[in-house]
Amino acid sequence: MRRGSIVALLGLALIAGGVATAVALVPTWLPEDASQEAGRIAFTFWFVIAICIFIFAIVAAVMVYAVLRFRVQEDDFEDGPPIHGHTGLEITWTIIPFILVTSIAIVSAIVLSRNDAQAKDTLRVDVTAQQFTFTFSYPDAGNVTSPVLMLPKGRSVELYMRSLDVIHSVFVPQFSQKEDVVPGLVTQLHITPTRLGTFPLECTELCGLGHSLMRSQAVVMEPAAFASWLKKQGKTAAPPSSTTTSTTSTTTTTSPSAAGLSVFNANGCSSCHTLSAANATGKVGPDLDNLVAYAKKANQPLEAFVHDSIVDPNAYIQPGYQKNVMPGTFGQSLTKSQLDAVVSFLVQSAQKSGNK
């Protein structure tokens, strides 16, 4: 093989590699970062992708050039010249991948340890996942709970995540991180938000019929706005979280139907059920505006029917729906006052919509 061919081949390969890498890196493929961790993850991602594309383009260019340039002539039946290895080439193609793979390992290790490093004033948020909703609570602020993940900008935040039933997974694309929520474990996720805004928070583990509806939001606020939000939530007597034993308040500070509505919303009932009194339009489970008819069909008094259907959802299944879709955990996770509040709220609104 002539020296000229090798120079041409190498030149072509390097140009192809450079062009392919540039084309791959120029468009914005990923959502704009909204956390420090996301920026580091994106850097690692593109570092690896750039290496892969560059090497792939070089290999592909060499192959294409060789196929075209050294194609055998039609009447040529000779064997190629015997070649017995090339020490220089072998050393080169061992050392270059070694350097590349090692550099990927070093970059990844640095990013992982930096992303997990909590600041001194890290804010703790407890995340409870259940079919098919997320609840976020702030134990340092008197267990304020929220169906939306509220975060202060620029503060280091650690999520402590528990599941009440099956495996779920928390993913905010703009934060670039994803962590499973596994029954029996507390998994953790560290986030330092850098950009104000409202971002989608999704369950990314197939967890049942309502999986595609298991969505919430992450809202990043100015620290001052976040502090006043926390204060306000603490004052308006949020329903006690499922882990506390407190059975007071709730019904004393708010009207029974408002208390029931907040239990309804905090437990994600609206992601599966339709109920006009709660502006809920879920389609996974039975339409709760028809509870009067369902109770009649199940041959039970309305209130007992509603209570039993929450505590033991499999006891009566409305025709057209399946067993084991509704979580059977509400009997344990709701306090007695929460359960009473939501039952009377459902009974009231069912009677109203039944009389329409």
* Residue 214 sits in the site that holds ligand CUA (CB under 6 A): yes
> Which one of residues 205, 287, 289, 340 is an interface residue with ligand CUA (CB under 6 A)?
205
What b/e readout covers 238-265, taking b as 16+ CB neighbours within 10 angstroms? Answer: bbbbbeeeeeeebbeebeeeebbbbbbb
For every residue of 5-52, DSSP letters joined together read HHHHHHHHHHHHHHHHHHHHHSS--SPPP-BHHHHHHHHHHHHHHHHH
- Span from 90-98, 106-114, 207-215, 263-271 in contact with ligand CUA (CB under 6 A): 207-215
Q: 130 - beta bridge partners? A: 133
**CA geometry: angle 10, 14, 19, nearest 5 deg:** 150
Q: Reduced to 3 states, what is the DSSP secondary structure of residue 133? A: strand
What H or E segment, with its residue span, contains residue 88?
helix 87-116
The nearer residue to ligand CUA, 40 or 168, going by C-beta atoms, is: 168
| Residues 27-86 contacting ligand CUA, CB under 6 A | none
Sketch the per residue contact string, 121 through 140, with ligand CUA: x for CB under 6 A, - otherwise.
Answer: -----------x--------
3-state secondary structure 221-255: ECHHHHHHHHHHHHHCCCCCCCCCCCCCCCCCCCC
Residue 216, exposed/middle/buried by CB under 10 A (0-12, 13-18, 19+)? Answer: buried
Distance CA 324, CA 208 (A): 9
CB of 324 to ligand CUA, least distance (A): 15
- Span from 18-26, 40-48, 198-206, 266-274 in contact with ligand CUA (CB under 6 A): 198-206
Distance CA 163, CA 205 (A): 12
The nearer residue to ligand CUA, 39 or 147, going by C-beta atoms, is: 147
Sketch the per residue contact string, 148 through 187, with ligand CUA: x for CB under 6 A, - otherwise.
Answer: --------------------x-------------------
Distance CA 115, CA 190 (A): 7
The nearer residue to ligand CUA, 199 or 229, going by C-beta atoms, is: 199
CB of 24 to ligand CUA, least distance (A): 32
- Span from 45-53, 171-179, 188-196, 199-207 in contact with ligand CUA (CB under 6 A): 199-207
* Residue 211 sits in the site that holds ligand CUA (CB under 6 A): yes
For every residue of 178-222, DSSP letters joined together read EEEE-TT--EEEEE-B-S-EEEEEEE-S--STTGGG-EEEEEEE-
* Residue 201 sits in the site that holds ligand CUA (CB under 6 A): no
The nearer residue to ligand CUA, 33 or 202, going by C-beta atoms, is: 202
* Residue 266 sits in the site that holds ligand CUA (CB under 6 A): no
CB of 168 to ligand CUA, least distance (A): 4
The nearer residue to ligand CUA, 41 or 203, going by C-beta atoms, is: 203
The nearer residue to ligand CUA, 19 or 206, going by C-beta atoms, is: 206
What H or E segment, with its residue span, contains residue 91?
helix 87-116
CB of 248 to ligand CUA, least distance (A): 32
CB of 214 to ligand CUA, least distance (A): 4
* Residue 284 sits in the site that holds ligand CUA (CB under 6 A): no
> Which one of residues 111, 191, 203, 261 is an interface residue with ligand CUA (CB under 6 A)?
203
Rg (CA), the chain: 30
Residues that bind ligand CUA (CB under 6 A): 132, 168, 203, 205-207, 211, 214
